[in-house]
Structure formats: structure tokens, C-alpha cells
Amino acid sequence: MPQEIERKFLVRDDSWRAAADAGTRYRQGYLSTEPRRVVRVRLGGDRAFVTIKGITRGIGRDEYEYPIPVADAETILDALAIRPLIEKTRHHVHHAGHLWEVDVFAGENAGLVVAEVELPSEDTPVDLPPWVGAEVSHDPRYSNAALVEKPYSSWSR
């Protein structure tokens, strides 16, 4: 069974940008945000995917992802997805043998910058980059599905 195992962190400053790629803009929407079965459609560049995720256990969960036609993704995002859509630019940064994904959110989640690292197992050691701040892996508010339900702009900070 395919599994996603990832740790998620807030980003403390922009120093990650020196090692980052140009990034890819994403639009993604959810057909279900129910924690036991999250269903997402993501459009980035000229590629689109539907992803089904199971319940999170620790920092892992079952994940199934399949390519879909871009035109189908656009229609689903425009006509069927729960609002607001997630808008973000994802950058890739290599650090100490791991590929980090840094998401810079826009729209109703503007101001939020999160870094994630996918791991082969929950106990894989990770050398944290200096630009990484507090770990939020176990804080459900930072999941993209939760950001649809309660966008970052609505949080009292």
C-alpha cells in the first residue's frame, strides 16, 4: 500500500531561497476534506493529478495519486472543488541528502510558508536546515485540507 511519510515545519526566514529552484505554481482543490478520506485535485504547470489520502497515523498515511487530463482538473477545480482553492508556489531545496518542498501560499492563505520533507520511514533522521522553524507535523491546522476549511488569513495570531 503506498504511503506518504512526511515532516512539516514552519519556515523562519527567506534564506532557503538561495538554494531553491524557481518553483511551480499550484492550484488545488478538495472534493472531500473528511480526515479519513481526503480527495484532492492538483494542477501545476502542464500536469494534473487526483490524490486520495487516508487517515494520518503519526506522520504517515496511505496515499494514492493518479495523473488526470489538465482540462478535467481545470473543470473540477472551477466547478466542483470546495472553496477556497489552495494557491501556492512550491520550491525544491536540497539539504543534507533530502529534498525539501517549500510551499509559499497565496490567496486566502497568503503569509504562510511551510517546508516539508518526505521520508522512507518515520524514524529516518533528518538534518534540519537553518531556515526551518517550529515543527508542525502533528498540528492538523497546517494540512492543506484544513486550510480550505479555515484559511490562514482567518487565524488569530
Q: Quick one: pLDDT at residue 1? A: 61
Query: What is the pLDDT, as a whole number, of residue 83?
Result: 97
pLDDT digits (tens, 9 = 90+) for 78-104: 999 999 999 999 999 999 999 999 999
Cis, bond preceding 84 (omega within 30 deg of 0): yes
Q: Are strands 47-53 and 3-11 parallel, antiparallel or unpaired?
A: unpaired
Residue 82 φ/ψ, nearest 5 degrees: -65, 140
Set out the domains of the chain in order of their start, with CATH numbers: 3-154 (2.40.320.10)
Q: Is 64 marked active-site?
A: no
**pLDDT for 107-149, tens place per residue?**
999 999 999 999 999 999 999 999 999 999 999 999 999 999 9
Digit-coded pLDDT (tens) for 130-141: 999 999 999 999
Span 9-14, mean pLDDT?
98
Catalytic residue among 26, 30, 66, 142: 30
First-last CA distance in the chain:
39
